[in-house]
Structure 1
Amino acid sequence: MDQSNYSSLHGFILLGFFDHPKLETILSGVVTVFYLITLVGNTAVILASLLDSHLHTPMYFFLRNLSFLDLCFTTSTVPQMLVSLWGPDKTISYVGCVIQLYVYTWLGSSECLLLAVMSYDRFTAICKPLHYFIIMNSHLCLKMIIMVWSISLANSVILCTLTLNLPRCGNNLLDHFLCEFSAMVKIACVDTTTVEMSVFALGIAIVLTPLILILISYGYIAKAVLRMKTKAGQRKAMNTCGSHLTVVSVFYGTVIYMYLQPGNSASKDRGKFLTLFYTIVTPSLNPLIYTLRNKDMKVALRKLMRVPQKSSKKKRNWKS
């Protein structure tokens, strides 16, 4: 049999933390808890913002998309991850690995761009409040979301196709607990410099460019806040931006450390723990961060926990 086709026929073996079985048992419990928090928290945010007519605004439209994105992102990896951590079967089919790689990369890229779009929404709300609903109309918001998903999909197709086309010479042992890009590149049996340079260039475009746009937006926001005459206005502006800034800091800090650094600068185990944080912890924190600092969301969640009220039938206040 041609060894180059071995992984295509038999899939991959996810090593994970196979040499630390007790650690795998602990991690399986931790992953399960955070996954349940992610499912409950993000589903609650989506339902609360949909059912409460007061939250039919661009800000909550993007927040719903972020919650939906986080739900899909964790679900694309966690079930398979738990199977690998729970028992002796650590294999994943070739098709399953390919799907996971494409979806994982697509959704991760989408979150980078979506956070940049959300920063533009906050910039418009604070720096141009009188024209906010005219600028951020429903058509523009929908176009932005389509753009986010389309650009991210193109990035995923290019990046993952380059990775999967690398010959592996029969090596099907992935030193990870999911089909992640860097782990796939490491098992290639040829020089991967060209692929790594391509990935770095795409990383600049997908990760750093949105981050720069976010920083520019918040530079203008900071100027507008400092010009406000009342402390109440400043507090309100900072409250609406504080949640988003916190999410941006946690998300981008992890991603930049993971992907925009020299390949051998971090230990293998540290990279795995960072992937865990990026995959399960961050999506579970997002709904908590947004709800703890947001009075309107707290009210909507209280309504969600009660019997559905007539308020959900009111007309939307989001002008198109």
Structure 2
Amino acid sequence: MTWTTAQQDALQNAIQRRNERNILQNQLAQTKTELAKRQQEQAVLLDQWRNEQADVDRLNRLSWASLYHDLLNQKEQQLTKEEAEAQHARLRYDAICATVIALQQQCKDQEKRLPGFSDVDQLYEQLIESKREALLNSSDAVREQYQQHLTTLIHNNHYAQELTEAKGAGIQALQEVRQLGQLLDEARTWGTWDMLGGSTISSMIKYRKLDEVRDQSQQVAYSLQQFRREYKDVDSTFLPDWTFDNNLTRFVDIFFDNIFTDWSVQSRINEARTTAQTLEDHLVTAIAELQNQQDKSTEQTKQLSDQFQRFLETV
């Protein structure tokens, strides 16, 4: 089978169209990501506006709070302040609404263009397959080059996938650890308040937070185990001093022992918070290095893919 000039021109055109399609897909993905982010902000700002408006409505209607402000001759001053805050919240909400509408329209425009590329992958694969068939009549050296390109690319893609899975597990573990740290901070705050003579309510909230800490500790231990498993698959040596086991059970066990005094509670909270911060620091370092390795792998994959395609397109 021979490879004609017309086929080569068609392949070059298919390559160009695929690149255009890929760029458009990336743009659409970025637009959707930005839209999702802005929609989250929109929901937050809507809640803020409603809350500020509720404060205005509360002062405008007859209530104990309204009577209290009347007695202190502060109602008009307070109402003006609440109205200003409500107006500011409304302006911020209107601004984000305009941004969301613009991004939604941008998504529609980009999605409308994509069907024009619906046949490009099939056409490209047909032409590349024809080129592969043409290689059957080529020399042994050319066929060997083809197999080397393919084997190297497959191996690199496999390693890239392992890096992606390891980084994803690390990010999940980091999120769990940070959530635990936040709960510990809240428990520590209520514990301090309780030791300084807080009420029964403060004690109740503190121990409720400790229950949440205990539950979250188990999530942390599980997520760290998952990360260890994925990290081991990468078989990396860029963090040889990393150890997973030391801190796996400390969070889970720390609140199961008997606690007799408030000082003991606070001491355990502080110890757990220190451990959580240490784990967070280790995870941030590990994820950053995995990201660095992933960036290198991505660039290498792109280079290998480009080399392979140039080989198929020009041999």
Report the TM-score range of the alignment, normalised by the length of the smaller protein: 0.3 to 0.5
- Structure number with greater Rg is 2
TM-score when scaled to structure 2?
0.32
Higher RCO (C-alpha 8 Å, min separation 6) = 1
Question: Larger helix proportion, structure 1 or 2?
Answer: 2
